[in-house]
A and B are shown apart, each in its own frame.
Chain A
Amino acid sequence: MDRRNFLKTTIGALAASQIASPTWAQGKPLKLGFLIPKSGPAGIFGPSSETTTAMAIEEINASGGILGRQVEALFGDAGGAPSDTVQAAQRLWRRDGVDALIGQHDSASREAVAAMLRGQLTYVYTPVNEGGYCHTNTYSLGETPDQQLAPVIPYLAKEHGLKKWYLIGNDYVWPRGTNAAAKTYIAETGGEIVGEEYHPFTVDNFDTSLTRIRESGADAVLITLVGGASVTFNRAFASFGLDKQAIRLGTLIEENTLAGIGEANSNRMYSTAGYFDALDTPAALAFRKTYYDRFGADAPVLNTLGEGCYEGAMALRAMFEAAGSTETDAVAAAANGVSYTGPRGTTTLSEGFAASDIYLATAKGAVFEIVQRFEKVAPGNACTNG
């Protein structure tokens, strides 16, 4: 579905739900501000974020809204530099008067937005993140490295007899944080690190890294390259036949990235996340069916980042209703221990992060297949920035 059709149907559906709703007259709508990438390289995750958000809002309104108020979604672009995301957040907050912000963007923008808000507005951050931080009234729903790796590394190490790990990622806080956690878990399995490297986003040739991986004799590669870099790396990795030497594990290889890597290059590749389009739990299947029925078979493919926006809205409903208010202090007092049910199962908020089920999936051609489920993995977050 193209953007125009999407807007038409969304606006149509929103208008219809508002006309039909008896509670519409009871008060001002509750406004949720969504910061999602609509432009730039991360814009690839924009369409699926918009559709899942529209679906969440429709479902919430159909079941009576939040605190008896109908809900309205407003969008800001988070696809540019952190400073642009901050401006978008300010517009949503100051001009549009949103009751909460939901962010699906990179960690650098999260730090900037949290610094701007200074706890004055409830802010739910949905994507996979490096953990280890905390800000007042900021809640992170996405998977931390501890969740993604603590159960998965021992499982894979045992399954494949892995001893030598090579770590490769883009050069910023999320890959470095993930690898710091990974080192602990690898050491616990008796494995060693045979290489670690970080690349700027501009690198589009990984030949020398691949030579190094071959020479290191690595039998596992942990990939924290993002988006296009991950696509380029994995394509070259397989074309050099390295898939025979080492398994690959990615902590952000989602459905779009896998499509770019392609069926010919995905042999022995694993991904760990709380949600996959291939997830076959009753909750995920129901979510999937509603989504593709609603937006058609050509809808943007479901992935962990898009799914996060849906969960962001569901988490806020649970938090606001537990608090009986949208006031930040009331929400903060009530938030800890609040549970809600989303496509990845029942998720429980804990100290600003979320405990949830984690899945390990392997690529079968250009789609994922779930290998193993790890129940209710704790976010293991000790906040280090006070």
Chain B
Amino acid sequence: MQEAIVFSLNVSYGIISLALLVLGLAIIFGLLGVLNMAHGELVAIGAYTAWAVQSAGLPLLLALPVAAVAAGAIGWLMEITIIRHLYRRPFDTLLATWGISILLREAIKLCFGLEYKSVIEPVGGSITILGADYPTYRIWLMVAVVLGFVGLFLWYRRSHAGTRVRAMVANPMLASAVGIETAKLARRAFVLGAASAGLAGCLMAPLIRIDPYMGVDYLLSSFFVLVVGGLGSLQGVFIGSGVIGGAETAASTILGGTGGYVTVLVISILFLWLKPGGLYARR
């Protein structure tokens, strides 16, 4: 019984943390068609922000807005200087954002050095759920992320901003013809995606290793989710995270770490081959 509870909590954590990390990438790719290779570095910047805030002796909660603003500001800078010239040129954006990712990584090395950083959990210890011990911070994180996703989903469905974004995505020419400022909207979407990557890094910081190369890991697993879930929808993010996160946790329970990783690779390859649009394709 205890094992079953810990297992299902592990699966939930795998799915939810993956969805959190993928969100920024999915927003930018889904809304703008830009595959942001610098996504992982934006996550890293969020994590380093958490470290900087904590080592300055300030409460960790303060790191959340700081991380969102820092990553958002970098996203804004990326958009106005480089990305906006490259919309609708997928391969060029791929190369450009890859270059930016190297630049950001070197900047992180210069600012923070190569050493590992450690962020202490704001709520330590573990709580007992139906007789099974589970780390408290993970529970809080899962609750917060699920609430955040529900809010985001409602906002996107109901607000005018959501409608305008959907109009721009569906038909950019027509959208600008009816008076929607697509350039401004695209910039906001990009900044939002970058900021959410920063937030994800900040929220995950107490649970993960923090070094200048951490971004690469998160970029890879995020791609797998997008491949499976389908490119560019909130539902796709959750479905993709569910398949990848669930399969990885389940497979590594049975087959070990290497088996888990291989399973994820095989699933991704099968999807690219047999169902390139993913489970929840936009069109």
Contacts and interface: CB of A to CB of B under 8 A. Distances in A.
Given A239-B135, A241-B126, A197 B114 contact: no
A46 B210 contact: no
A206 B248 CA distance: 11
B207 A239 contact: yes
B7 interface: yes
B235 interface: no
Chain A binding surface, main DSSP class: helix
B248 A205 contact: yes
Contacts of B249: 205, 207-208
Contacts of B116: 44, 228, 231, 256-257, 259-260
B249 to A, nearest CB: 7
Contacts of A231: 116, 209
Contacts of B114: 43-44, 46-47
Interface in B243-260: 248-249, 252-253, 256-258, 260
Given A44-B115, A199-B258, A228-B116, A235 B7 contact: no
Interface string A1-37: 0100000000000000000000000000000000000
Interface residues on B, range: 35 or more
Interface stretch (A64-72, A147-155, A261-269): A261-269
A207 B14 contact: yes
Interface residues of A, number: 42
A203 B261 contact: yes
Nearest to B6: A211
Contacts of A199: 256-258
Contacts of B6: 211
A211 B124 contact: no
A46 B135 CA distance: 35
B126 A239 contact: yes
Nearest to A40: B213
Contacts of A204: 208-209, 217
Contacts of A43: 114
Given A41-B213, A44-B114, A256-B115, A211 B253 contact: yes
B258 A171 contact: yes
Contact of A211 (B7, B14, B120, B220): B7
Contacts of B126: 239-241
A260 B209 contact: yes
10 contacts: A202-B220, A202-B261, A211-B253, A232-B208, A240-B126, A241-B125, A241-B126, A260-B115, A264-B121, A300-B115
State the 5 A-B residue pairs at the shortest beta-carbon distance, nearest first: A260-B116, A262-B118, A199-B257, A231-B209, A239-B135
Given A41-B211, A200-B258, A239-B135, 9 more contacts: A46-B114, A200-B257, A208-B252, A211-B10, A228-B116, A256-B115, A260-B116, A262-B120, A301-B115
